[in-house]
Amino acid sequence: MGPGNNTQISGFLLMGLSNKPELQLPIFGLFISMYLITVFGNLLIILAVSSDSHLHNHMYFFLANLSFADICFTSTITPKMLVNIQTHSKVITYTGCISQICFSLLFASWEDFLLAVMAYDRFVAICHPLHYRVIMNPHLCGLLVLVSWIMSVLNSLLQSLMVLQLSFCSEVEIPHFFCELHQMIQLACSDTFLNDTVIYVSTVLLACGPLTGILYSYSKIVSSICRISSAQGKYKALSTCASHLSVVSLFYCTVLGVYLSSAATQSSHGSAVASVMYTVVTPMLNPFIYSLRNKDIKEALIRFLRRVTIKGTIVLVVKKCLGCRAQSHDF
């Protein structure tokens, strides 16, 4: 593979978290467990919100979208890692790598925007409660989600197209468990100044922008809560924000921790291990945070599971009755 044309690169090698053979099985077991918990946990949130009329409001509409983004984000990364461990292979195709970059950026950016939108929803609910239904009407909620999606798509397409313009040399080993954008750019043997500039600008606009909105919303929320005279009123207002604030803190602290640790240690392996937090652990914990800290979600999940159990029991009884009838006809 010589330099000069990126079409000569047929694939890359994902080095993963460890090269030690004795650690592959524990890593596989750990990651498949976390992936299944992530998918089923977030799927339960989506099913509970969509099937329970008590949760048909704006806050839970955004939560369902956040759970969908979590499922898609972790599904972009984890399955390929599990397949590589199972098949004892490190190869990912050039197309697969670009696709992984595109979709991981898409859903990570979308989650970032959704967290900002949810912060704005809480700001309106607490600071302007009398006008909440007027301001946060279904049209605006749908528009906010749509704009967040469009911005995320444009960002992921731009970053992916910029990577497509790069040329890669013979060094195709990615010291990571997925095709991370920064790691890919470091492998290029062509000039990456434009790529680095685009990454910097998009980080400022698409990461710092939503974070600034979140911090502004919560500064206003805290100010409004401080003006509430009763302790019970303060607790009720804070409880509506607790789950979202926990998820925001987890998301930004893990992402910030990854980049600070990689900058401090200059270790690609250390960065890969730290990336597990925001790519796998955070999407897994989000359903627990919302279900454990939210009474409405807990009650909706109980009702949903009860309905599923009852339906399953009815189906089994009907099948058993049909089986008994078939046997009686045979006699």
**Which amino acid, 223?**
S
User: What are the beta bridge partners of residue 11?
Assistant: 93
The dihedrals phi and psi of 91, each to the nearest 5 degrees, come to: -80, 140
Three-class secondary structure assignment of 314-331 = HHHHHHHHHHHHHHHHHC
Q: Is 77 contained in some domain?
A: yes
Is the pLDDT at 156 greater than 90? The verdict is yes
pLDDT at 300: 76
Is the distance from CB of 63 to CB of 300 less than 8 angstroms?
no
pLDDT in tens, 188-205: 888 889 998 998 888 888
Return the sign of the alpha-carbon dihedral for residues 298, 299, 305, 309: positive
| Structural domain count, the chain | 1
Is the distance from CB of 280 to CB of 35 less than 8 angstroms?
yes
Q: What is the CATH number of the domain that holds 175?
A: 1.20.1070.10
Is the distance from CB of 125 to CB of 91 less than 8 angstroms?
no
Task: State the residue range of the domain holding 21.
Answer: 6-293
Q: Is 312 contained in some domain?
A: no
Q: How many CB atoms lie within 10 A of CB 299?
A: 14
Q: How far is Cα of residue 13 from the mean position of the Cα atoms in its chain?
A: 24
Q: How many CB atoms lie within 10 A of CB 70?
A: 27
What three-state secondary structure class fits 168? strand
Rounded CA separation 126/135 (Å): 12
Mean pLDDT of the chain: 84
Q: Is 318 contained in some domain?
A: no
Q: Is 320 contained in some domain?
A: no
Q: Is 324 contained in some domain?
A: no
Is the distance from CB of 80 to CB of 96 less than 8 angstroms?
yes
What three-state secondary structure class fits 91? strand
Is the distance from CB of 166 to CB of 192 less than 8 angstroms?
yes
For residue 151, CA distances in Å to 44, 190, 205, 212 come to 27, 28, 11, 17
Q: Which two tokens stand for residue 131?
A: 């006008």
Rounded CA separation 312/309 (Å): 5
Rounded CA separation 291/300 (Å): 9
Q: Is 52 contained in some domain?
A: yes
| pTM, two decimal places | 0.86
pLDDT at 6: 43
H-run or E-run covering 173: strand 173-174
pLDDT in tens, 103-140: 999 999 999 999 999 999 999 999 998 899 899 999 99
Q: Is 219 contained in some domain?
A: yes
The mean per-residue pLDDT over the stretch 52-73 comes to: 89
pLDDT in tens, 221-247: 999 888 888 888 788 778 878 888 888
Q: How many residues does the chain have?
A: 331
What is the Cα gyration radius of the chain?
Answer: 24
User: What are the beta bridge partners of residue 173?
Assistant: 13
Q: Is 328 contained in some domain?
A: no
Q: What is the largest CA-CA distance in the chain?
A: 83
